[in-house]
Amino acid sequence: MRDYFYKCIDDLTATLSGDEVLLGCYDGEQSDFVRFNRSQIRQPGSVTQREISLRLIDGKRHISSSVSLTGQSEVDGPKLSAMLDQLRSDLPHVPEDPYLLYATDVCSSEEVHNNTLPPSDDAVNAVLNAGAGHDLVGIYASGSIDAGYANSLGQRNWFSRPSFNMDWCFYHQADKAVKASYAGFAWDDSQFDRKVDTAREQLTVLSGEPRTIDPGEYRVFLAPAAMQEIMSMLCWGGFGLKDHRTKNTPLLKMVAEGATLAPSITLRENTAGGLAPRFSSRGYAKSDSVTLIENGRYRDCLVSPRSAAEYDEPTTGGDEYPESLDLTGGTLGADDVLGALDTGVYVNTLWYLNYSDRPAARMTGMTRFATFWVEDGKIVAPLNVMRFDETIYRILGENLIDLTAEREFLPDNDTYFARSTGSMNLPGALIDNFRFTL
């Protein structure tokens, strides 16, 4: 599809006139999906989709539209020509955009990763074997995600990366289940088996009588999946230049008052290590890595082309919401987590998070699925659902004991419209005096 996409843009470029500039973006995927319920295949399927977006620019005016591609030039050609004609007709009626910015220097690139994915049948059989004797519920998604950019100035960019994500849980009853995931670029049976064994062990504990603990402050271990929910909240306005300049960032205390997190916290937007393409819809190359927080102190923002024009700052290429967030690990070994926790709460996942005081980076949310009470370094009972209310300055600041040395690659499992290219690489966190309110 790369050459086909480029030819589509070439054909449309030949019809431009005057000072018109055309930007084209391509998004495509070839994915296998398998849904499981009661440890059986319930819905297998494959999806191939291709979409092209066109943006027509003349001076400070711009307008865009998108359409699906069939891959047949006799069908797509007239459709794209008609879409460009419509954009040209509508363009004079849109206002000028003072913050329009797009790449005018040609910076072409190609990044195509080898397909090291297992045959879907092999992965599915491994999942079925893992679910034998249990109620396994989940979805397996696998395949290549492609992205392209081309403009009438001659720039050409292409990105293709195969990946897989198995997101599942062992269901017990009511609101009790052990949730887990395994994702990456090459399937490793031993890694998957370890995750399955851990989930089975927790399922055994989950079948016991649940406890309710009183509201208060407890030593807590947040597994990487729980950390993913907290980091997702921080990404909501936490790292963009626009939110910082308008004082809407939840990290306002770090930016305006010099508040800090623990020295062990170094957070990056690591585009080179994620699933997202290294170029943006405006033609800019994204920085391979942007250090957002370094040794507990805020360092740099993500700067979109639009914010770059508005605030006269250099752009980091992409949008202002991290797509490939990377938190450096600590020194706590995965096998030492329960011993270090000693007595407290082991949290696998969090749910329904929101800000209770956004400027103070205070958030609230619920535990869900497998949350356990630990005594003397051993899991002894499942816990009923609880609500927490905490600030990021306590979670990753004054009360942070350590982060795990091992980290987990956690893709965004969103499949609305298309498979997401967002991901995080996160450790677990051991925290003291974590506050539960209900």
Q: What is the pLDDT of residues 156-210, one digit of tens each?
A: 999 999 999 999 999 998 878 999 999 999 999 999 999 999 999 999 999 899 9
Residue 369: per-residue pLDDT: 83
- Asked if 345 contacts 226 with a C-beta cutoff of 8 angstroms, the reply is no
Positive or negative, the CA dihedral 179, 199, 328, 385 is positive
pLDDT digits (tens, 9 = 90+) for 336-351: 999 999 999 999 999 9
> What is the pTM (predicted TM-score) of this model?
0.93
* Beta strand spans in 6-130 (E): 21-37, 40-58, 61-68, 109-112
Burial class (CB in 10 A: 0-12, 13-18, 19+), 368: buried
Domains in the chain, ordered, with CATH?
2-206 (3.30.2290.10), 216-436 (no CATH)
Output the pLDDT for position 436.
97
pLDDT surpasses 90 at 45:
yes
Question: Is pLDDT of 66 > 80?
Answer: yes
Mean pLDDT value across residues 113-131:
93
What CA–CA distance (Å, rounded) separates 214 from 390? 16
pLDDT at 176: 84
What is the average per-residue pLDDT within 88-105?
Answer: 96
φ/ψ region of 86 (left if φ > 0, alpha if ψ in -120 to 50, else beta) reads: alpha
Q: What is the DSSP string of 191-208?
A: HHHHHHHHHHHHHHHHTS
Average pLDDT (33-50) is 95
Task: Summarize pLDDT for 220-240 with one digit per residue, the tens.
Answer: 999 999 999 999 999 999 999
Do residues 254 and 397 touch, judged by C-beta distance below 8 A? Answer: no
364 in helix, strand or coil? strand
For residue 425, is pLDDT > 90?
yes
Radius of gyration of the chain, Cα coordinates, nearest whole angstrom: 24
The one-character DSSP state at 332 is B
CA distances to 17, 101, 265, 280 from 59, in Å: 13, 11, 44, 20
- 276: pLDDT strictly greater than 80: yes
Can you tell me the mean pLDDT for 238-257? 95
Q: Give the percent of the chain with pLDDT over 90.
A: 94
